[in-house]
Amino acid sequence: MAALHEMTLTEAADRLARGEMSSRELTRACLDRIETVERSLGAFLSVDADGALAAADAADAARQKGEVAGRPLLGVPLALKDVLAERDRPLTCGSRILENFVSPYDATVVERLRRAGAVFLGRLNMDEFAMGSSTENSAFHPTRNPWDPDRIPGGSSGGCAAAVAAGECLASIGSDTGGSVRQPASFCGVVGLKPTYGRVSRYGLVAFASSLDQVGPVTRTVEDAAQLLEVIAGHDPRDSTSLPDPVSAYSRALTGEVRGLRIGLPREYQVSGLDPEVKVAVAQAVDVLAGLGAEVKEISLPHTEYAVAAYYIIAPAEASANLARFDGIRYGVRREGADPIALYRATRGAGFGLEVKRRVILGTYVLSSGYYDAYYLRAQKVRSLIRQDFLRAFEEVDVVATPTVPTTAFRLGEKSSDPLQMYLLDICTLSCNLAGICGISVPCGFSKDPRLPIGLQLLGRPLGEETLLRAAHAYQSATDWHRRRPPLESRGAG
């Protein structure tokens, strides 16, 4: 039997329900694991051991009293990306400008997880304000990949993926603006789900790009992702973009049956720079689905080549507006100046890191007089074309299959001096956000030397999570990549 910290969320919930262990035992096992491996990973920004154990004890007491109805996660330890508001806990967004800020309220997602009985272990590291693909842009420390601590875990939800892969928590909740859940899931060999835009409330999620951001789970299995989505999805009147559609019983969709399911292979995703081992692994994964009875056909998403350019106009423009609130006046770090302009300059100059400054400056530029039509408006038109490409494709197929990332995880510092190369890593993931559809990354293999995880990305139509999860689960059930664990101890962790 697996160690407690190695269990899936679903397994843990079942064992807790059967009384085979207590939440305190499970939570203590995760905290011990954090103590063992965290020094070599840096997945957490802060750990709340006392709060987690108190919540675990409360969960155990509630279970003894029979107070379990509507609490599917009662006593299960999770961790949160440090971009989601959690009452009375730090909310830094990986930035010095919020270094000492403590949230006075819970995000809607956190409220729903609390009601479901979840235990929160701590706050997970991230690229500053979710701007990055490697978690090297955290103002506090980089996070390392559990499969090779000399390599990045991906980003911006790198702490989420590394912590789940390393067994520090049973699952985590991150955010995905251009692939920030799916890409690190691929690099770390775990599952990352980006729901349809509006499927999960953004209330209490610190905004990077409001029309692109979406909260999503990082887990060890598709079953766990489905379970968490059932808990966190649903309409929220506090979020004007929240969709009113009822939440499905996603777990019931995991039948393992994909016979007749139509899978599209977009020719445009055979991108320049696609690692041959990634290409082979993804092709073999599609063959597995075909062997299960799925129908595979080539499709075209003709405006894919413009996605990176459009994204890196729209996202910085929205970031420029959203980050204007961090000015030293209302909250966060404050650097005094002789006048308001000097105060802003000193505060934002000291509080923001290089990548955040780069994107804010770029976003301000494309929104400025004389450039708005040439850049921002044109990028929004391209975005509409990309969405139309997907909607037309979904008239022919049920799911689109692509690599999650063109390569495996690269070495720390390898791309830090070349932002463009870092941005191009998002080429397979960011169209999903531009189109507002749903996507998932599942483990589908490893490179040979070095041995690093590879992810298969499946994309579904808007509110098509049931079909998406069904396909991902069928593939997972026919393979064992998701069962592989990084050999942290042999690398001298802790």
* pLDDT digits 0-9 by tens, 202-250: 999 999 999 999 999 999 999 999 999 999 999 999 999 999 999 999 9
* CA distance between the termini of the chain: 24
For residues 53-72, average pLDDT: 97
Q: Which one of the listed residues 172, 175, 180, 320 is annotated catalytic?
A: 180
How high is the pLDDT of residue 493? 36
- Looking at residue 373, what DSSP letter applies? I
Q: What does each C-alpha distance from 462 to 309, 349, 367, 379, 466 come to in angstroms?
A: 23, 40, 29, 21, 11
Asked whether residue 420 carries a pLDDT value surpassing 90, the answer given is no
| Token pair recorded at residue 363 | 């976003």
Question: Which residue from 210, 395, 412 is spatially nearest to 301, judged by alpha carbons?
Answer: 395
- Per DSSP bridges, beta strands 453-460 and 119-124 are unpaired
The answer to whether the CB of 426 falls within 8 A of the CB of 179 is: yes
- Looking at residue 442, what DSSP letter applies? E
Q: What angle do CA 487, 440, 174 make, to 5 degrees?
A: 70
Q: Which one of the listed residues 23, 81, 194, 415 is annotated catalytic?
A: 81
| Domain map (residue ranges) of the chain | 4-302+385-491
Q: Mapping DSSP to helix (H, G, I), strand (E, B) and coil, where does residue 432 land?
A: helix
The answer to whether the CB of 459 falls within 8 A of the CB of 449 is: no
Rounded CA separation 91/73 (Å): 23
How high is the pLDDT of residue 494? 33
357 is catalytic: no
Mean pLDDT of the chain: 96
pLDDT digits (tens, 9 = 90+) for 117-148: 999 999 999 999 999 999 999 999 999 999 99
How high is the pLDDT of residue 489? 62
Rounded CA separation 326/348 (Å): 7
Q: What does each C-alpha distance from 405 to 12, 132, 180, 212, 313 come to in angstroms?
A: 30, 14, 11, 19, 21
Asked whether residue 492 carries a pLDDT value surpassing 70, the answer given is no
For residues 146-171, average pLDDT: 98
pLDDT digits (tens, 9 = 90+) for 430-472: 999 999 999 999 999 999 999 999 999 999 999 999 999 999 9
How high is the pLDDT of residue 236? 98
Read off the pLDDT band of 1 (50, 70, 90): low
431 is catalytic: no
156 is catalytic: yes
| Token pair recorded at residue 436 | 């507002």
How high is the pLDDT of residue 138? 98
Asked whether residue 2 carries a pLDDT value surpassing 90, the answer given is no
Q: Which one of the listed residues 156, 175, 320, 447 is annotated catalytic?
A: 156
Q: Mapping DSSP to helix (H, G, I), strand (E, B) and coil, where does residue 28 land?
A: helix
| pTM exceeds 0.95 | yes
For residues 162-170, average pLDDT: 98
Asked whether residue 491 carries a pLDDT value surpassing 60, the answer given is no
For residues 178-199, average pLDDT: 98
For residues 100-114, average pLDDT: 97
pLDDT digits (tens, 9 = 90+) for 3-34: 999 999 999 999 999 999 999 999 999 999 99
Which contiguous run of DSSP H or E holds residue 216?
A: strand 214-219
Pick the CATH number of 4-302+385-491 from 3.40.50.670, 3.10.20.30, 1.10.150.120, 3.90.1300.10: 3.90.1300.10
Asked whether residue 490 carries a pLDDT value surpassing 80, the answer given is no
| Token pair recorded at residue 430 | 């960011």
| Token pair recorded at residue 285 | 């994964």
For residues 87-101, average pLDDT: 97
pLDDT digits (tens, 9 = 90+) for 292-336: 999 999 999 999 999 999 999 999 999 999 999 998 888 888 999
